[in-house]
Copies of this chain bind each other. A is one copy, B any other.
Amino acid sequence: MGVFGHKTVSMTAKIRLYVDHPLGDGQTVPLDRDQAHYLFGVMRQQEGADVALFNGRDGEWLAQVTQAGKRGGELTCVRQTRPLQMPPDLWLLFAPIKKARTDFIVEKAAEMGAAKIIPVQTEYTNSERIRQDRLQAHAVEAAEQCGGTYVPEVTDLQRLDRLLADWPSTRRLMFCDEAEAGAARALGAAPRGPWAILIGPEGGFSVTERAKLHGLPFAHVVSLGPRILRADTAAVAALTVWQQALGDWDGPQSD
């Protein structure tokens, strides 16, 4: 029994590890130096120990340690314990904020089932640089800790205006504008399919950006209630609204 978050997950291995390697019956999986240090040094595992592996593609596998060394090691897959559980086709676009809260948004997006996480630069975005590799590592860690079998891709920082100029015509955009009270319930009548959620920057959207966003044919404006939410709170609230109305909270999407 591994315990994550606020509920208990049944599985035989306590340690979950993301690996960038194919998984399958009898498949051997080499460990790099960092993974070996974590598994054998920090977690004190030895040969024969059970580890849960996932790679974001092949579901979750029970594996056994078949070689343990200081600089590497090897695991061998025993059996699949869970199939791949893909999230809905949902992107989360957000303007990076302070480091800890940006990390938090990525972690929460992975937990809440976003398929892709896109940091965007808006007119009022403060930080012009992000560490994409660090944010991707946060998404991996969130998936490891929370029992996920899928890891959302975190892209490099993209300019919002360019992203919207090249927007795929079939993807709808949920744009959270708290000036629009009462619109949140209306999302239930919106069509399913590919979607994105856009969370604004700390400084708000510029007048130009706001006018442009409201005029986009694929944009749906929703409210997140009468209180002002920080961007990280707004991200979780918006993901909740979307997942409940159009996502997989009632089971896998049918279309």
Binding site for B on A (CB under 8 A): 3-9, 85, 87, 95, 104, 108, 111-113, 145-148, 176-179, 181-182, 184-185, 199-204, 223-231, 233-234, 236-237, 239-241, 243-244, 247-251
Contact B223 A111 (CB under 8 A): no
Number of copies: 2
Contact B249 A225 (CB under 8 A): yes
Bound form: Cα–Cα A24–B252 in Å: 55
| Residues of chain B contacted by A178 (CB below 8 angstroms) | 6-7
Q: List 28 A-B contacts (CB under 8 A).
A: A3-B202, A4-B202, A4-B228, A5-B228, A5-B230, A5-B231, A5-B234, A6-B178, A6-B200, A6-B202, A6-B231, A85-B227, A111-B227, A111-B228, A111-B229, A112-B233, A145-B230, A146-B227, A146-B229, A147-B228, A181-B249, A182-B251, A184-B244, A184-B249, A224-B249, A236-B237, A236-B240, A244-B244
Bound form: Cα–Cα A202–B231 in Å: 25
Known: A6-B202, A236-B237. 14 other contacts (CB 8 A): A6-B229, A8-B203, A85-B226, A104-B104, A108-B233, A111-B228, A112-B233, A113-B225, A181-B251, A185-B250, A224-B249, A225-B243, A226-B249, A237-B239
